[in-house]
Amino acid sequence: MFGTGLNRKIEGEIAKIILKLNQIHVHKIAIDIPSGVFADGNIPENTVVFKADETLSLQFCKQSFLHPEISEYCGKIHILEIGISKKYIENTETPHYIIDEEIVRKIYKKRKDTSHKGNYGKTCIVAGSFGKIGAAVLATKSALFSGSGLTYILAPKCGYEILQTTCPEAMYLYGGEDFVKIFTVENDFTYGIGPGLGTDYETEEKLMHFLKNYNEPLVLDADALNLISKNSENLNLIPKNSIITPHPKEFSRLFGESKDSFERLELAKSKAKELKIYIVLKGHHSQIITPEGNVFYNITGNSGLAKGGSGDVLLGIITSFLAQGYSPENAAIFGVWLHGKAADFTAEKYSKEAMLASDVIQHIGEVFKYLQK
């Protein structure tokens, strides 16, 4: 009934018809966009929306389809070509992109036969505390599986035996007894900080001191972000061109509450520009926001990732790519896509319900083999 030009709430007789259609138990198909949905924004409260089982979107996926508030009305989305000029598409500027295989294959650097470990960087994972050494294991293993040349794990001594047993390829650096209280500053290391780190006062103090003295791009997640969020001035300590990977609650602690994912995205664009950092907003369709205001939507992955440990794996992958010489933008885009693709392979084998974060790591190699075809 209504297409992409709709910018108001549906009311009156049309609303009654849509409500009636939603109550009928038949397979429902929307052409281009479900009536009542806006193409690039959220729908008003208490509005009537046609709930489709499938949506046949013309030429492109609409931006709003990739947000959780709208995706439930779309069902399975199919893109139908309608013959729009490819030259016109290429010459039309947009800040919004979907990460597809064409983008990923342009980013991916195939390993050279003549290379050695020194060509693939030094990754240092700073993670773990008493009772949370598993997070350090997941982040370290995912860095190793993603191609890091040399991998270090800076963690408390309480996790030494576990880490040396589960990650023998990684080199252990002493970070304290039960919590990380010693941060080693090595300018040729690329750091990924946060998984299972804990929020001990000394950890907070030493992390802030580290950030004041380290100026290279790094990756921050989990408790590193929670510690930074304790004081808004700490945000200015994040090195330029770094990557942060918050889930919605961590994002809110850092930057304040948002009424919905659309408002959160606009706030993220503002903060990425202000702080000159890359923000990975984790979710059903994770978004990578650049300091220039570009947004890359990821469409790999599944709800099997909605489990503890998934974010630790993502941090390890992105940090490894950053260490290997990928630009911060490409490391974030490729890392998020690969993480999701590995999860898709994992779900096929184990199911979304049974798959674990550690299973996703075991399927990273399948993704590289897939890209090499």
8 A C-beta contact, residue 218 and residue 253:
no
Distance between CA atoms of 211 and 17, rounded to whole angstroms? 58
Residue 85 falls within a domain, yes or no? yes
Strands (E), 9-165: 29-31, 54-58, 76-80, 96-99, 122-126, 150-155
Distance between CA atoms of 357 and 321, rounded to whole angstroms? 19
Residue with tokens 């966009």: 33
Same domain, 199 and 87: no
Q: What is the average pLDDT across 25-50?
A: 93
8 A C-beta contact, residue 152 and residue 123:
yes
Read off the CATH number of the domain in which 288 is found: 3.40.1190.20
Same domain, 82 and 204: no
Q: Which residues on neighbouring strands pair with residue 171, listed in sequence order?
A: 152
Put residue 196 in one of left, alpha, beta given phi > 0 → left and psi -120 to 50 → alpha. left
What proportion of the chain, given as a percentage, has pLDDT over 70? Answer: 98
Same domain, 199 and 69: no
pLDDT at 317: 99
Residue 160: exposed, middle, or buried by beta-carbon count in 10 A (0-12, 13-18, 19+)? Answer: middle
Distance between CA atoms of 278 and 274, rounded to whole angstroms? 11
Same domain, 199 and 347: yes
8 A C-beta contact, residue 132 and residue 196:
yes
Distance between CA atoms of 9 and 78, rounded to whole angstroms? 25
Q: What is the pLDDT of residues 140-185, one digit of tens each?
A: 999 999 999 999 999 999 999 999 999 999 999 999 999 999 998 9
First to last CA, the chain: 44
What number of other Cβ atoms are within 10 A of residue 108's Cβ?
A: 18
pLDDT at 372: 95
Which contiguous run of DSSP H or E holds residue 151?
A: strand 150-155
- Confidence (pTM): 0.96
Q: Would you say residue 201 has pLDDT above 70?
A: yes
Residue with tokens 């006062």: 201
- With CA atoms as reference, report the closest residue to 66 among 32, 303, 74: 74
- Boundary of a domain, candidates 59, 92, 125: 92
Residue 119 falls within a domain, yes or no? no
Same domain, 317 and 201: yes
Residue 349 falls within a domain, yes or no? yes
Residue 284 falls within a domain, yes or no? yes
Same domain, 211 and 66: no
Q: What is the pLDDT of residues 212-236, one digit of tens each?
A: 999 999 999 999 999 999 999 999 9
Residue 100 falls within a domain, yes or no? no
Same domain, 72 and 209: no
- Boundary of a domain, candidates 26, 59, 92: 92
Q: Would you say residue 205 has pLDDT above 70?
A: yes
Q: What is the mean pLDDT of the chain?
A: 96
Least confident among 12-16, 191-195, 338-342: 12-16
Distance between CA atoms of 321 and 203, rounded to whole angstroms? 26
257 alpha-carbon distance from chain centroid: 19
What number of other Cβ atoms are within 10 A of residue 55's Cβ?
A: 25
Q: What is the pLDDT of residues 113-128, one digit of tens each?
A: 999 999 999 999 999 9
Q: Would you say residue 10 has pLDDT above 90?
A: no
Q: Would you say residue 281 has pLDDT above 70?
A: yes
Q: What is the pLDDT of residues 324-369, one digit of tens each?
A: 999 999 999 999 999 999 999 999 999 999 999 999 999 999 999 9
- The band of 45, judged by pLDDT with boundaries at 50, 70 and 90, is confident
What number of other Cβ atoms are within 10 A of residue 28's Cβ?
A: 16
8 A C-beta contact, residue 133 and residue 163:
yes
Counted domains in the chain: 2
HSE-CB at 311 with a 13 A cutoff on CA atoms is 27
CA angle centred on 358, ends 355 and 364, rounded to 5°: 95
Distance between CA atoms of 156 and 161, rounded to whole angstroms? 11
How many helices and strands (H and E) does the chain possess?
A: 14, 13
Same domain, 61 and 209: no
Instruction: Determine the structural domain holding residue 363 and report its residue range.
Output: 106-112+195-371
Distance between CA atoms of 271 and 130, rounded to whole angstroms? 33
Residue 289 falls within a domain, yes or no? yes
Q: What is the pLDDT of residues 127-136, one digit of tens each?
A: 999 999 999 9
- The band of 41, judged by pLDDT with boundaries at 50, 70 and 90, is very high
Read off the CATH number of the domain in which 30 is found: 3.40.50.10260
Q: Would you say residue 2 has pLDDT above 80?
A: no
8 A C-beta contact, residue 68 and residue 302:
no
Contacts 24+ apart (CB under 8 A), 269-275: 269/293, 269/295, 271/235, 275/235, 275/236, 275/238, 275/240
Residue 99 falls within a domain, yes or no? no
- Boundary of a domain, candidates 58, 92, 126: 92
Same domain, 201 and 85: no
Residue 120 falls within a domain, yes or no? no
